[in-house]
A and B are shown apart, each in its own frame.
Chain A
Amino acid sequence: MTAATAAIEPGSGRRMADALAPGGRMALLVLTLGAILLLFLGPAVILVVTSLRPGWAVYYIYRGTAFTVQNYLEVFARPAVVHAFINSFVLATLATLFSLGVTITSGYMLSRFRGPIPRTWFGTIYLFRTVPYISWVLPLYLVDYYLGIYDTYVGILLPHIAVHICFFSWIMKGFFDGIDPSMEYAALIDGCTRWGAFLRVALPSAVPAITALAILSWLYTWNEFLFALILTGHNTAMITVTMAQFVTELGTQWNLMSAMAVLAMGPAVLVTVFAQKYVIRGLRI
């Protein structure tokens, strides 16, 4: 096989790859992998480097070797930042607990039953999954305001549960579809109630998948921006919004903003490194 025939037949990628010497293929692979790593890790690395630079050395990032952790200390010295971290943590945890609690049963129903009720519910979920967030978060501002829950935990928690209902019911249905229902039928025949069959038989088998979804749900809430921007004020400010506010009349304080961004990235990095297997299982459609 010569390089010339490989060039004549553009459809034969394998032969073209064979035409390159083994060393050449290796080099190609290394180059590709290097480019991928650079592309996907680059922006995060730039953020980390910037967060470790003193304020005056942020510009012209490629020069100088002055590094400091001062930015992190300065960011943490601000009560607003600490407050935002606590808020986001509490909200993400509560939203995960409640949205999973509400959607486990809904997904189970979609998976196990046929007929007009599941069909209607499934149609509703599809429909509201499609409606853009802004279309119901704008008026939600008025709802929160008139209910007196604007800028409280409840006022941001309930919309977060609502936004997860469609998506998670759908995913939960997939989880339960993967579990053989014959054990539940056996339990029903043996005199178990429907609730018993669900809670004691189906639910325990779904726990690994639900754990994966719990991790994702926590991160989605932690990362969320639009709801936080519209539905929170000083009391319940979230990290994403607080981070976007490191802009003063002198311009953006990139060193502080980066430090905050790196801190806010923490959970995502932990999950990526340590819970990768679970998360990839949860990232289904």
Chain B
Amino acid sequence: MASPARELDVASAAAGYLRRRLTALGEKERFMLLLIAPAAAVLVLFQVVPILIGANASFRDWQLFNPKGTWIGLAHYAYILSDPIFLWVVLPNTFLLMFATVAMSLVLGMALAHLLNWSFPGHRLVQTVILLPQMIAPVIAATSMRWTFNDQFGVVAAFLRWVGFGQMSWLAERWPSFLIVIFTDVWIWTPWFALILLAALKSLPREPFEAAQIDAAGRWRTFTHITLPMLRPVIGVCVLIRSIDAFRTFDQVWVLTGGGPARSTEVFSIYAYVETFVNLDFGRGSAAAIIGALIILVVAWLMYRTIDRLTNISR
């Protein structure tokens, strides 16, 4: 049993140790810590702490009508990981959206970047127009797409009727709805790839291209043998960042389909949102959010390792 005097002793010793450590840090280290202190404080308070609270909630039986929060261990995790909707609809949708939007935006963005790398009349107009989808809110983009693809009154429906197809109700079916979601996401993100790849193209050295021209290499050959290898690091970083962000897509899906028809186009973020704010089950929603975060952390890590091996982006 420690006496109060001894406790005081320990406390003062600890304080002295801390003080010594802080002075031992040196003014350079203190300057470094001071520079990141505000950012770190906000990050901890409004990102780290909520994640911990969410992790805590995910182990509890916590509904709006039953806010006691009894500890139930891994029950929510077990439920979600055996929920057929999560396993066979939400996860495939999320990864399909991620893969489709990244692959298509990358290819189309590369084509657009090459087009914009030429000089032609109207160059500035095209660049301005393709910047627009990046600048407007995803919600607005999704709203205009929802209206464009409205299956009764939209422009596309009108056009299809004019061509000779009859009345169709594609919004009542899974794949056409999901295709519209993918199209919207590609529409928003193709310009991003295009503008970044354009900047990268412009910064490439000219000599290899001149050498290729002297050797009479065709355009396609020049592209696959010179442009692509030199752009690899940029492409690698773009794909990694976009994949991570595509995993958490919410706005477009929420506005376009709301996860419907009959939850068939739900993606991970929508699933967590619906569990929490529609079914009003904080515990289960938090568990879903944690599971999703863990999945993307693992996937992003694997992607980083793969892309790094292919392109040396960590150099």
**Chain A residues close to B by CB (< 8 Å):** 9-15, 17, 29, 32-33, 36-37, 39-44, 46-47, 50, 58-62, 101-103, 105-106, 108-109, 113, 117-118, 121, 124, 127-140, 142-143, 158-159, 161-163, 165-166, 169, 194-195, 198, 219, 222-226, 229-230, 240, 243-244, 254, 257-258, 261, 264-265, 268-269, 271-273, 276, 279-280, 283-285
Contact = CB atoms under 8 A, between A and B. Distances in A.
A132 B269 contact: yes
Given A223-B136, A285-B196, A118 B292 contact: no
16 contacts: A36-B115, A43-B145, A59-B153, A62-B158, A105-B38, A106-B40, A117-B33, A117-B36, A130-B300, A131-B47, A134-B289, A135-B54, A161-B42, A254-B147, A272-B128, A284-B199
B132 A44 contact: yes
B135 interface: yes
Contact of A131 (B35, B51, B192): B51
Contact of A132 (B48, B112, B293): B293
The 5 closest A-B pairs by CB, nearest first: A223-B137, A139-B54, A132-B248, A12-B218, A13-B219
Interface residues of B, number: 91
Nearest to A37: B129
Contact of B39 (A103, A198, A258): A103
Contacts of B195: 280, 283
Given A62-B155, A280-B195, A161 B144 contact: no
B265 interface: no
A32 B115 contact: yes
A103 B36 CA distance: 8
B311 interface: no
Given A9-B218, A109-B36, A285-B196, A135 B51 contact: yes
Contacts of A124: 40, 43
Contacts of A106: 35-36, 38-40
Contacts of B297: 127, 130-131
Interface stretch (B5-13, B71-79, B164-172, B236-244): B236-244
B6 to A, nearest CB: 35
Contacts of B86: none
B129 A36 contact: yes
A268 B143 contact: no
A83 B144 CA distance: 23
A194 B32 CA distance: 10
Of listed B43, B115, B135, B286, residue having the most chain A CB within 10 A: B135
B46 interface: yes
A113 B27 CA distance: 13
Given A106-B36, A261-B144, A61 B244 contact: no
A44 B250 contact: no
Given A43-B141, A268-B137, A139 B57 contact: yes
Contacts of A269: 132, 135-136
Given A43-B148, A46-B155, A113-B32, 16 more contacts: A10-B220, A40-B132, A61-B155, A106-B40, A117-B33, A131-B293, A134-B269, A137-B50, A138-B282, A142-B53, A143-B46, A225-B139, A226-B251, A226-B269, A244-B255, A285-B237
